Amino acid sequence: MPVVISKDIYGSTYSLGYDSAQPERVLRRHYVEDSSTLTLAGAVLAVESQVTDFGTQFPLISTMPRQNITAKQVGVNRFICEEHYAWSNTNWGGGTGINTLAEYRLAYESIPVYTVGPAEASTGLPSTTAALFDAAGANRIGFRPASYPFARPVIRVSVPVQTATNPMIAWATYTGRLNNGGYTIGGLSFSTKQLRFDGAEIRARSTTVLKYQGSLMFSGARSWQMHHLTESSGSWTVTAVDQYDTGAFPSL
C-alpha cells in the first residue's frame, strides 16, 4: 500500500498577493513510497486520500482551490507528488467576498439628439432649449425634424467575479437598468442613475468552491437621459427624459 512518508518537504512554496490575487499560489510537495509496485496514478491517489488537512481548498487564502496533483518518480516505488493551489488563469479575483478588482475603458456612445450645442452638465446632452438641428424640417407640414448622432462619453467597467453561486441569478433582472442609489466599483463612485448594468459573461469552471467565474459589465455616464420630441399645434418641443429604468443593484 502506498504511504505518504513526509508532507510539505523541501521545495514547498507559499505566495500571498497584496495588490491583487494574481500572484497567489501554493505548492505542497510530498514524499510517497510503497514496498511493492507503485504507479504514478497510485502515488497521486495516495496524496488525495492521505493528505487531507487542506483537501480541495487552501484555507489560508480565501479558500483558494486545488487545481491539480502531479507525481514524479524519483526511485524504485518512490515518488515526489505536488499539490498545486491557485486561482484560475482566466480570473484573478473580484466579486462577492473578495476585494473587488475592475478594468476601465473610456469610450463614446452614440445617441440621437435634436438640438445643437455643447453638452450640459445636468444631462450630458445639448440643451433642449437650443436651436433645432433641423430648423427647416420643423416647418415642413407632416414631417418631424431630423436628429443627428451625438457622441456621449462613457466609461466601461468590467468587474471579474468568482463565486460559488451563479451571479446570473442575482443580476439577470437588472440588465439595461440604472443604479437607484450611490454605487462604488473599484474606487469609482457613481451617483444615482449614472451606472448602467450591461450584462455578464459567466463560466462554470470547476466542481469545487468558486465554481462560477466571469465578468459583470457596466457603463457609467454623467447622465442617461435622451431627447424626446413632441409636437403641438405645429410647434416642436424637445425635452430630456430618462432613457432606462432603475433598480437596487446587488452588492459586489
What SS3 string covers 73-91?
Answer: EEECCEEEEEEEEECCCCC
What DSSP element (H or E) covers 151? Answer: strand 148-163
Looking at the chain, the whole-number percentage of residues with pLDDT higher than 70 is 90
Give the C-alpha separation, 63 to 220, whole Å: 33
Rounded Cα distance, 218 and 197, in Å: 5
Residue 233 within any structural domain of the chain: yes
Is position 209 within any domain?
yes
Where among 57, 86, 115 does a domain terminate?
Answer: 86
Supply the pLDDT for residue 182.
96
- Mean pLDDT of the 57-62 span: 79
Whether 116 and 240 map to the same domain: the answer is: yes
β-pairing verdict for 246-247 and 178-179: parallel
53 Cβ contact partners less than 8 Å away, ≥ 6 residues apart: 7
pLDDT of 95 reads: 47
Euclidean distance between the first and the last CA atom of the chain, given in angstroms as a whole number = 48
In a domain, 93, yes or no: no
pLDDT 10s digits, 7-37:
999 999 999 877 667 788 899 999 999 877 7
**Is 167's pLDDT higher than 50?**
yes
More confident residue, 155 or 62: 155
- Lowest average pLDDT, out of 65-69, 94-98, 167-171, goes to 94-98
Contact 107, 155 (CB under 8 A): yes
Determine the pLDDT at residue 91: 46
> Do 21 and 109 fall within a single domain?
no
* Cβ 166 vs Cβ 212: under 8 Å: yes
Q: For residue 31, what are the domain limits?
A: 3-86
Whether residue 109 is found in the same domain as residue 77:
no
Q: Kindly indicate the confidence band of residue 89, based on its pLDDT and cuts at 50, 70 and 90.
A: low
pLDDT band for 150, please (50, 70, 90 cuts).
very high
CA distance 219 to 223: 11
221/139 same-domain check: yes
Q: Based on the fold, state whether residues 136 and 243 are members of the same structural domain.
A: yes
Do 21 and 124 sit in the same domain of this protein? no
Number of domains in the chain: 2
Cell of 118: 455643447
Residue 151 and residue 53 in one domain: no
**Model pLDDT, residue 97:** 41
Q: Are 17 and 124 found together in one domain?
A: no
Answer yes or no: are the C-beta atoms of 35 and 41 closer than 8 Å.
no
Across 60-128, the runs of DSSP E, i.e. the strands, are 64-75, 78-86, 103-113
Indicate if 31 and 146 belong to the same structural domain.
no
Confidence of residue 208 (pLDDT cuts 50, 70, 90): low
| Total-model pTM | 0.67
Asked if residue 108 is part of any domain, the answer here is yes
Q: How far is 123 from 112, CA to CA, in rounded Å?
A: 14
Q: Is the pLDDT of residue 100 over 60?
A: no
Residue, of 134 and 197, whose pLDDT is higher: 197
